[in-house]
Amino acid sequence: MSYSTFNKNQINPLKEPMFFGNSVNVARYDQQKHSVFEKLIEKQISFFWRPEEVDVSRDRVDFQALTESEKHIFISNLKYQTLLDSVQGRSPNIALLPIVSIPELETWIETWSFFETIHSRSYTHILRNLFTDPSEVFEDIVINEEIQKRANDISKYYDDLIFYTQLWQTHGEGEWEVDGAKHIVNMRELKKKLFLCINSVNALEAVRFYVSFACTFAFAERDLMEGNSKIIRLIARDENLHLVSTQQIINLWQYGQDDPEMKEIAEELREEALQIFMNAVEQEKQWAHYLFRNGSMIGLNEEMLCQYVEYIANMRMEAIGFDAPFKQRSNPLPWMNKYLVSDNVQVAPQEAEITSYLVGQIDSEVSASDLGDFEL
């Protein structure tokens, strides 16, 4: 079943499943099968921001004053986030666009991926400010073992789905040999791969950023690296939206509100989906361990971070119908919340600053004497 960029058949997108139906032809949003995706697009676009609008110049001074272990924490987290957004800036497009069947979801996927590219660009913005030449940091992302361990788990479900979709679109269903390996391609297998892939992405958006977010906001609590923290607040807001979209897809399947075969598959692969989530949680805890191996930072240690991961994981797992597996029911880092509040709602000014003054240049209060010791 080869892909066409403009399906000539007359199709009724209101009757199509989210994936593996007829490919989309007219990009129309006047009628929607699952209107939530159109609302997500609107919301995401209303969050538009540019990294360059956030002044990070003061962070350079702060960074120089961090201890070696704190620098390790800060830079390692940026590397990990760079990996995550590198994957997310392309993979939803490559894996999901060839198989999506309703226009509002197709456009959501593109919008979602586009925002991940803003995140990627923001890491360059942050790093360029900290280092005259940030190459070493970027180059380490494909060498660093701790990052590699995670990269593999994050990309493998996408890669598998992409590979099987390509086989299906070029050869159709059947048994195909590629480089000496046999592959059975049929619709059921494709849908299973899709299900696992979405669960893996869901786990990524749900928990994989939060160790890093917690460290960033712990620095901000000490009035350090505030430019970075402002950027991460904007990223965190976007990630919450991405997460809601994968939760929507999973729930629509589970409740039989979309493709009935996906409902069966959701039941059949429930344990595997659970395992994907639990593995992601475990990897995040190991990441916390790696971050703090040279020493902690004020206000945060490995144990608190792991408790926070469990707290977040409980919430995220309940949202897709799993029982909360961890006993951490209260928020061990209550100060995190003020950084995660969306500004569309007015909160008490003492609780959270308002992001509108993030976008639009902030006066950086760095004087020449502050920078006197540094080579620019």
Partner 1 sequence: MSQVFKVKVNGQHELTVDASQGNTLLEALEQAGLEPHYHCRNGFCGACRVQLTAGDVTYINDPLAFIRPGDCLACCCVPASDIEINQ
Choose, by CB under 8 A, the member of 244, 324, 362, 371 that binds partner 1: 244
Report CA torsion sign: 41, 42, 46, 47. Answer: negative
Cα–Cα nearest to 153, from 306, 2, 64, 280? 280
Which span sits near Fe ion by CB under 5 A: 81-89, 182-190, 306-314, 329-337?
A: 81-89
Q: How far apart are CA 185 and CA 245, in angstroms?
A: 28
* 85 near Fe ion, judged by CB under 5 A: yes
At 181 the three-state DSSP class reads: strand
Which of 29, 80, 123, 255 is flagged as catalytic? 123
CB 235, min distance to Fe ion, A = 6
* 185/250 with CB nearer partner 1: 250
CB 238, min distance to partner 1, A = 10
Identify residues 251-270 at the interface with partner 1 (CB under 8 A).
251-252, 255
Instruction: Tell me if residue 123 is catalytic.
Output: yes
* 164/217 with CB nearer Fe ion: 217
* 79/233 with CB nearer partner 1: 233
For residue 155, give Cα distances in angstroms to 7, 85, 196, 266, 280.
29, 12, 12, 21, 13
Identify residues 214-243 at the interface with partner 1 (CB under 8 A).
237, 240-241, 243
Q: How far apart are CA 87 and CA 96, in angstroms?
A: 13
**Inter-residue contact 70 to 198 (CB < 8 Å):** no
CB 251, min distance to partner 1, A = 4
* 22/111 with CB nearer Fe ion: 111
* 7/240 with CB nearer partner 1: 240
Choose, by CB under 5 A, the member of 16, 239, 284, 310 that binds Fe ion: 239
Q: What is the DSSP string of 186-208?
A: -HHHHHHHHHHHHHHHHHHHHHT
List own/partner pairs for 30-39 with CB under 8 A and 24 or more apart: 32/102, 32/103, 32/104, 33/102, 33/104, 34/102, 34/104, 34/105, 34/248, 34/252, 34/258, 35/104, 36/248, 37/102, 37/104, 37/105, 37/107, 37/108, 37/245, 37/248, 38/104, 38/107, 38/108
For residue 287, give Cα distances in angstroms to 145, 147, 220, 241, 283.
11, 9, 21, 24, 6
Write the binding mask 37 to 56 for partner 1: x where contact by CB under 8 A, - elsewhere: --xx--x-------------
Identify residues 304-363 at the interface with partner 1 (CB under 8 A).
315, 318-319, 321, 330-331, 334, 337, 340-342, 344-345, 347
* 242 near Fe ion, judged by CB under 5 A: yes
Both tokens of 32, joined, read 């929607």
* 58 near Fe ion, judged by CB under 5 A: no
Q: How many residues belong to the site for partner 1 (CB under 8 A)?
A: 28
Q: How far apart are CA 187 and CA 295, in angstroms?
A: 50
Residue position matching structure tokens 């702060």: 62
* 119 near Fe ion, judged by CB under 5 A: yes
Q: What is the residue type of 58?
A: R
* 340/371 with CB nearer partner 1: 340
Choose, by CB under 5 A, the member of 38, 116, 258, 310 that binds Fe ion: 116
Instruction: Note the residues at the interface with Fe ion (CB under 5 A).
Output: 85, 88, 116, 119, 205, 239, 242
Instruction: Note the residues at the interface with partner 1 (CB under 8 A).
Output: 36, 39-40, 43, 237, 240-241, 243-244, 247-248, 251-252, 255, 315, 318-319, 321, 330-331, 334, 337, 340-342, 344-345, 347
Active-site residue numbers? 123
